[in-house]
Amino acid sequence: MKIKIGTRGSLLALWQADYIQSKLESAGISTEIVIIETKGDKILDRALSKIGSKGVFTEELEEQLHSGTIDIAVHSAKDLQSELDESLSIIAFTEREKINDVLLSHKEIDISKELVVGTSSTRRVAMLRAYFPHFRIVDMRGNLQTRIKKMEDGACDAILLAFAGVNRMKYNDRIRHEFDNEQFVPPVGQGTVAIEISNKLDEKKASRIREICNDPETEQCLLAERAYLRELKGGCSIPVFGNGILVENKVHFTAGIISLDGQNIIKVKEIQKNETPEELGTKLAIRILSEGGKEILESIKAQL
C-alpha cells in the first residue's frame, strides 16, 4: 500500500503533511508527499474576505483528489470550507492541540497600550475591536515566516496567530500574550489536522488511514463544530466561532458570531444531551440565527 499525500507548500503545511506521513509510515505504509499551490497561496495582496471564502486554501488539492493524482489531502481543519462536494469526505481529525490565539512579537509589548497588530482573519479583527479597541489593526497575509519578516521590517508590533501553528514552527519564545479562549473563542477546527479523500479511494486504504490517524474525541467535537458552520453557511470571511470540548463523552459546545466592528456579539453554550454532535451543532446555529445572528450575518455579507 502506498499513499500519496497532497499538501500546500508552506512550512506549516509541510509540517502537517510530515506529521501524517510519520503516522502512516510508522504503521508500515509507504508514502509520497505532493506539493500543490492554492489560490490562497498565490494571491497575497488582498484580504481573504476579498478573494472569496470557499476553497481558498483547498480547491486545488480537491481537484487532485478528484483526478486521483493524490490519495489524501492534508489541511488545517480551520481552513476547510463548511460544505464539501458530495464526492469528497473527511475521514480523520488528528488529536487537537491547544486552541488559544496568541500575540507573537520580536520585542517586548504591553497589551494595555496602543499596539499595531497584524492579522488577516475577520474573526480576530472583530474580537480585537470588541476587547482591545486601543489596538490598531493592519491586514497581514502570507505564510508565518513571511508575516514575521513583515513584522520585523516594521509593518506591525505583533501578529495574532493560533498557538498550534506557532508551536509547530517553534516560535514559542516569541509569544507575548495568550488570549483567554472563553473570550477569544477560536474558529471551527483550530488546532487539528484534517484528512480529506475522494469517495472513489479504495475502501481498504481509507479505512486504514482513518484507523491510524483519527482521534475519536477530537472527531466528536469537530462534527459538532462543522455542522454548526455548515448551518450558518459560514466561511473564512465570516467572523463566526465555535469550539467543542469532550467531557465524559458529551460535547460541551461554545459558539457564536460577532459583527465586523465588534459591537454586537452573540455567544451561546450548550452541552450535548441525547442528540448527535451534528444535531447539537445544527441546533446551536439555528438558535444563534434566531437570537439576532441572522441580522448580523446579513450585515457582514453586505459589507464584504
**Which residues are part of the catalytic machinery?**
78-79, 123-124, 141, 147, 236
The three grid cell numbers given for residue 247, joined into one nine-digit string? 467531557
* Cα-Cα-Cα-Cα dihedral sign, residues 299, 277, 198, 97: positive
The dihedral region occupied by 249, where left means phi > 0, alpha psi between -120 and 50, and beta the remainder, is left
Measured CA to CA, the distance from residue 78 to residue 270 in angstroms comes to 21
Name the CA radius of gyration of the chain, rounded. Answer: 19
Residues 6+ apart with CB under 8 A from 130: 258, 262, 263, 265
Q: Under a CB-based contact definition with an 8 Å cutoff, are residues 287 and 253 in contact? A: no
